[in-house]
Amino acid sequence: MLRYFIRRVFQLIPVFFITTFLIFLVIRIIPGDPIQAQFGERRIPDNLRAAYIERYHFDEPLWKQYVLYMRDVLRFDLGDSIANQRPINEIFRESLPRTATLASMSVFFIGVFGIPLGIISARRKDGPVDNGFLIASLVMLATPAFVLGLLAQLFFGVRWGIFPVAGVEEGLMSYVLPALVIAVSSTAVTARLMRTTLLDTFREDYLRTARAKGLSERRVFTVHALRNALIPVVTVLAIDLGALLGGTIVTESVFNIPGIGFRITRAIVQRDTTMITGISIFLVMAYLVINLIVDMVYAWLDPRIRYD
Give pLDDT tens digits for 2-29.
677 777 777 888 888 888 888 888 887 7
pLDDT value of residue 301: 62
pLDDT band at residue 159 under the 50/70/90 scheme: confident
276 confidence band (pLDDT: 50, 70, 90): confident
- 168-177, 200-209, 284-293, range with the lowest pLDDT: 200-209
Match domain 96-307 to its CATH number in 3.30.750.24, 3.40.50.2000, 1.10.3720.10, 3.30.1490.190.
1.10.3720.10
Question: Per-residue pLDDT tens for 79-125?
Answer: 888 877 788 888 888 888 888 888 888 888 988 898 888 888 888 88
Q: What is the pLDDT of residues 245-273, one digit of tens each?
A: 766 777 888 888 888 888 888 888 778 88
DSSP class of 259: S
End-to-end CA distance of the chain: 13
| Residue 251 pLDDT | 82
Distance of CA 2 to the CA centre of its chain: 27
CB contact at 8 A, 225 and 201: yes
Question: Does pTM top 0.95 for this prediction?
Answer: no
40 pLDDT band (50/70/90 cuts)?
low
Read off the pLDDT of residues 135-156 as tens digits, 9 standing for 90 and up.
888 888 888 777 888 888 888 8
% of the chain surpassing 70 pLDDT? 91
Q: List the domain boundaries for the chain.
A: 2-73, 96-307
The pLDDT score that the predictor gives to residue 127 is 82
Least confident span in 191-205, 251-265, 287-301 = 287-301
Are 256 and 169 a contacting pair, CB within 8 Å? Answer: no
pLDDT at 206 over 60: yes
Tell me the pLDDT band of 164, cut-offs 50, 70 and 90.
confident
What's the rounded mean pLDDT across residues 205-217?
75
Helices (H) and strands (E) in the chain, counts: 14, 0
